[in-house]
Amino acid sequence: MPNWSAPYMKFGLKSIFITLFILSLSSCGKFRSIERSEDWRVKYDAALNYYEKKDYYHSSILFEQIQPIVRGLPEGEKVEFYLGYCRYYEKTYLLASNQFRVFYETYGRSQLAIEARFMYAYSLYVSSPDFNLDQKSSIEAMAAMQNFINLYPSSTFKDKAIEVIASCQEKLERKGFEDVNLYLKLKQYKAAIVSMDGFKKNFPDSHYLEQLLYLKIVAQHKLADQSILSKQLERYNLTLESYRELVDSFPNSSYLKQAEKLYSDSLEKVNKLKSTNSNS
């Protein structure tokens, strides 16, 4: 028995594709006609229509075309503001951030200025990469959000701004902590210790601090072990100091048992070195 459904299915799919193609051409032709119009109002209305339909690509093209024309007119404010969101929704976040900055600097008295200032900072935040990459955008976003909170402490965006600051903080802490771990894996103990000290200064309340203080004991001990004889006494003593810092800061630390072994070994070596030095 012949399979009649397959040819009809192919024909049906082909018809759908042809219809979609014709509609696409029609849509393209309509947009080209609008784009060629010399009446900026036609482009303005069409851009708003595309924006409402979430067609941010075509909307942004038309907004950009009329941007210089409507500057200074009542419509200019909406064009600048919507253009920022077009770029945001198209995920060109740095362009969006810049556009929102231009808006609140140009229309500082606008009712939309507060939202634009928030979106300036938020666009910087979403543009920031994973924690293991450069965090310049995260640092800028934190500063911008803190500035926003300082300027508008009662804003409806305040809670979201606080969340963004906390998220950026966590990302920066994670990067700093992973940098320490990388130095340890590479056995660059001196660099690891310097990095740890910088981390403690920058993030004194970090949830990584307990583990970091333990890792500093490990790094100090390994550095002392591989040091020349003339530097060992000083570096084992620094290991003892690092142990005391852990105990003082976290008396119930889960790392105390491992840390005590390094403390005992360091203390034994300090006593031996002192004995050797006094007999020489």
Closest listed residue to residue 243, CA positions, set 264, 259, 261: 259
User: In the numeric block, which tokens belong to residue 75?
Assistant: 């419509």
Residues 253/246, Cβ–Cβ less than 8 Å: yes
The pLDDT value given to residue 30: 83
Domain ranges of the chain: 178-280
Return the pLDDT at 27: 56
CA distances, 141 to each of 103, 108, 135, 172, 279 (Å): 17, 20, 10, 12, 60
Give mean pLDDT, residues 33-44: 89
Alpha helical stretches, state H, 39-188: 40-52, 56-70, 74-89, 93-106, 113-127, 136-151, 158-185
Question: What is the value of pTM for the model shown?
Answer: 0.77
What digits encode the pLDDT tens for the residues 114-137? 999 999 999 999 998 787 777 888
Q: What is the CATH number of domain 178-280?
A: 1.25.40.10
User: Which backbone phi and psi does 55 adopt, to 5 degrees?
Assistant: -95, 80
More confident residue, 193 or 32: 193
What would the mean pLDDT of 143-171 be, rounded to a whole number? 95
* Mean pLDDT of all residues in 175-196: 95
Assess whether pLDDT exceeds 80 at residue 241.
yes
Question: Is residue 17 predicted with pLDDT exceeding 80?
Answer: no
Per-residue confidence at 280, pLDDT binned at 50, 70, 90? low
Residue 36 pLDDT greater than 80, yes or no: yes
The answer to whether 259 and 217 have CB atoms below 8 angstroms apart is yes
- The answer to whether 75 touches 105, Cβ cutoff 8 Å, is no
